[in-house]
Chains A and B, each alone.
Chain A
Amino acid sequence: MNKKGVVKSILALATVVMVQGTVGPSVSANKLPLEYSSHKKQVKGGTLHVGLASGGGFKGIFAPPLRIDGPTSEVAQFGEYSLFSINDDYTYAKGGLADVTFDQKQKTATVKIKKSTRWSDGHPVEAKDIAYTYEVIANPATNSGDYDDRSRDVVGMEEYHEGKADNISGVEVKDEKTCVIHFKEMKPEMKFPGSGYVLGEVMPYHYLKDVPFDKLASSDKIQKTPLFYGPFKIKNMVKGESIEWVPNKYYGGKKPNLSKIVVEVVDPGHAAAALKANKYDVLLEQSPSIYNKVKKLPQYVVLGKKAKYYSYVGFKVGHFKNGVNVMDRKTPVQDRALRQAMGYALNMDQISKKFGYGLKYRANTIVPDAFGKYNDHKLKGYPLDLKKANRLLDKAGYKMQKNGYRTLPNGKPFTLKLLAAMSSDNAGNRNAVEVYLQQWKKIGVKVELKGGRLQEFNSYIEQLTNDGEGYDVYLSNWNVSSAPTSSLAETYLPNNPYNLSHFVTKENTKLIKSLSSKEAFNTDYQIKQFYKWQAYMNKEAYIIPRQFQYDTYTFSKKLTNVTLDTKKGATLWEDIAFTK
Chain B
Amino acid sequence: MWKTILRRVLLMIPELIALSILIFLLAKLMPGDPFTGMVTPETSPQAVEALRIKAGVYDPWYVQYWHWVVRMFHGDLGMSYQFKTSVGSLILSRMGNTIWLSLLTLILSYSLSIPLGLLAGRYENTKLDKGIMIYTFVAYAIPSFVFYMLGVWFFGYKLKLFPTSGSVSVDATGTFGYLLSRLDHMILPACLQAVLSVTAVVQYLRSEVIDNKNQDYVKTARAKGVPEKTIFTRHIFRNSLLPIAAFLGYSITGLLGGSIFIEQIFNYPGMGLLFMDSILNRDYSVITALVLLYGTLTLIGSLLSDIILSLVDPRVRIG
Contacts and interface: CB of A to CB of B under 8 A. Distances in A.
Interface string B296-317: 0000000000000000000000
B6 interface: no
B157 A273 contact: yes
Contacts of A236: 170-171
A2 B38 contact: yes
Interface stretch (B20-28, B126-134, B266-274): B266-274
Interface string B16-50: 00000000000000111000111111111111100
Interface in A467-509: 478-482, 487-488, 490-491, 496-498
B40 A2 contact: yes
B100 to A, nearest CB: 14
B76 to A, nearest CB: 13
Interface stretch (A82-90, A175-183, A454-462): A454-462
Nearest to B54: A143
Contact of A266 (B39, B79, B267): B267
B170 A241 contact: yes
B182 to A, nearest CB: 10
B42 A143 contact: no
A307 B142 CA distance: 40
B41 A487 contact: yes
A140 interface: yes
Interface in B63-86: 79, 81-86
Contact of B31 (A2, A239, A279, A456): A456
Interface stretch (B104-112, B159-167, B206-214, B231-239): B159-167
Contacts of B83: 59-61
A458 B171 contact: no
Nearest to B171: A244
A491 B36 contact: no
**A interface bracket (residues with beta carbon within 8 Å of B):** 35 or more
Contacts of A61: 83-84
B287 interface: no
A281 to B, nearest CB: 15
Contacts of B276: 56
A270 B39 contact: no
Contacts of A4: 37-38, 40, 43
- The CB with the most chain A CB atoms within 10 A, among B39, B265, B280, B282, is that of B39
B179 interface: no
B40 A479 contact: yes
Contact of A241 (B36, B39, B166): B166
A238 B47 contact: no
B166 A267 contact: no
A68 interface: yes
Nearest to A216: B84
Contacts of B41: 5, 478, 480-481, 487-488, 490-491, 498
A4 B169 CA distance: 28
B85 A223 contact: yes
Given A3-B37, A236-B171, A68 B42 contact: no
Nearest to B268: A241
A389 interface: no
B153 interface: yes
Interface string B273-286: 10011001010000
Interface string A230-247: 000000111111111000
Contacts of B265: 267, 269-270
Contact of B166 (A59, A68, A242): A242
Interface stretch (A145-153, A430-438, A440-448, A515-523): A145-153
A150 B40 CA distance: 14
Contacts of A252: none
A196 interface: yes
B158 A2 contact: no
B149 interface: yes
Nearest to A143: B51
Contact of A269 (B48, B149, B171): B149
Contacts of B81: 68
Given A264-B166, A458-B31, A270 B153 contact: yes
A68 B277 contact: no
Contact of B152 (A244, A273, A496): A273
B32 A273 contact: no
12 contacts: A1-B40, A69-B82, A196-B42, A241-B166, A262-B170, A276-B157, A457-B280, A459-B32, A462-B32, A463-B31, A478-B40, A488-B41
Interface of A: 1-5, 8, 55-57, 59-61, 66, 68-69, 140, 143, 145, 147-150, 196, 217-218, 223, 236-244, 262, 264-267, 269-270, 273-274, 276-277, 279, 456-459, 461-463, 465, 478-482, 487-488, 490-491, 496-498
